[in-house]
Structure 1
């Protein structure tokens, strides 16, 4: 029998591991070593959500959506660091199909848009290759729904090449009809960094694996949908302090 943890239960279970790394980061800041370095920065990029689902009917296709974050980077050594990235990300996907019959075509598209405040907390390994530096990132990420889920439905029907019916509608779902407001997941990424004067230019590709069934709170829902997908980012880091 399939069971789901409530959002409150999930938060209680994962609260401790989620905040361990920021706590370590704070302690390390107070006990700065000779090689430690604090940097701040910004990144921007795009997300491509495929939404993990075991339901073949919910065959979501990725839609390009924006994301950006502030970066708080603490290098413990030249090769190891922690990075906290409070920011915003939209995850969007679409179910689209075309039905055909003699003299008849029906085009259907259903898109959903989820807007989150996100906080990845990452451990990074960064070996050097001359001036170029590789970046391997791994860590948990928490996301909180910033706006109600938005859905767009578009249907066009043709008969003998002429439009006979069409629908273009936008809905917003809240309360008992909305998705869960909290999600926790794991992120892994690989990228590069390159120095440019006092700045460090960074670029990274990531995979995001959400653990929370965002439809699991809906009464009678037989579908399981998870925030999963890839993202691509670029940004800058600037050292502060010493």
Structure 2
């Protein structure tokens, strides 16, 4: 069995090496930074009435265009997420939970256009880890949501976050670097609270809409 696996591995590497040798596309590696805004919420079951919470995102970007119209991109980001609760019966109530994440997305980068101006789409998974959280609420006033309220006294129980992310963007290439404007949507496949049968919430999944500006500088072409 080990011999068969070794032979298959060598054959696989030989095929990949041959494909790369025949690839005449001028591959390009770019690095840069991003900054933008998040609009996030959490979907709860039992229901909690929420509205979008505003936050910030930013980080480092590494992109590798491996062939025509296709590349890979990964990032290391700081992202503010969480939720604002909605109190229709008493608008003076206030409850906001801010969760700060370090996150790493892994994207397939699909692009097309001219040498100067390109359209693109990034699609792929994202993982993150909650490094801190903060609650902001009315002092000396007990907030009562029309839905569930147990979340007010519950710290984040599952700090590891994972899900699917993607969105479109435009890119302008200049002599001093590449300038990108991009929109994204993220839907978490995990929950921020435990979801066992004995737990209160069976769903507490984040979703985030974001817009960001990215600057990239090509560092290698071959």
TM class, shorter-length: 0.7 to 0.9
Structure 1 unmatched ranges of 5 or more: 1-26, 101-105, 156-165
- Could you say if the C-alpha distance between residues 168 and 130 of structure 1 is closer, same or farther in structure 2, counting changes exceeding 3 Å? farther
Structure 1 position 134 matched with structure 2 position 113: no
1:135 Cα deviation (Å)? 1.1
Scaled by the length of structure 1, what TM-score is found?
Answer: 0.71
Contact (CA 8 Å) 1:99, 1:107: kept in 2 or not?
no
Structure 2 match to 1:159: none
Runs of 4+ in structure 1 over 6 Å off? none
Q: State how many pairs are aligned.
A: 192
Structure 1 residue 202, shift from structure 2 partner = 0.5
Match of 1:154 among 134, 138, 151: 138
Distance 1:122 1:239 in 2: 18
Gaps of 5+ in 2: 1-15, 144-150
Q: TM-score, normalised by structure 2?
A: 0.77
Which residue matches 2:12? Answer: none
Residues 198 and 239 of structure 1 are in contact (CA less than 8 Å); yes or no, is this contact kept in structure 2?
no
Q: Which residue of 2 aligns with 1:224?
A: 203
TM-superposed deviation, 1:54: 3.6
Higher relative contact order (CA 8 A, sep 6+): 2
Alignment of 1:1-242 (within 5 A): 34=24, 35-56=26-47, 58-99=48-89, 107-129=92-114, 131-147=116-132, 149-154=133-138, 166-167=140-141, 177-216=155-194, 220-222=199-201, 224-242=203-221
Instruction: Tell me the alpha carbon deviations over residues 49-85 of structure 1, each in whole angstroms, 9 at most, x when there is no partner.
Output: 12223433x1211121000010110001241110001
Q: CA RMSD in A?
A: 2.7
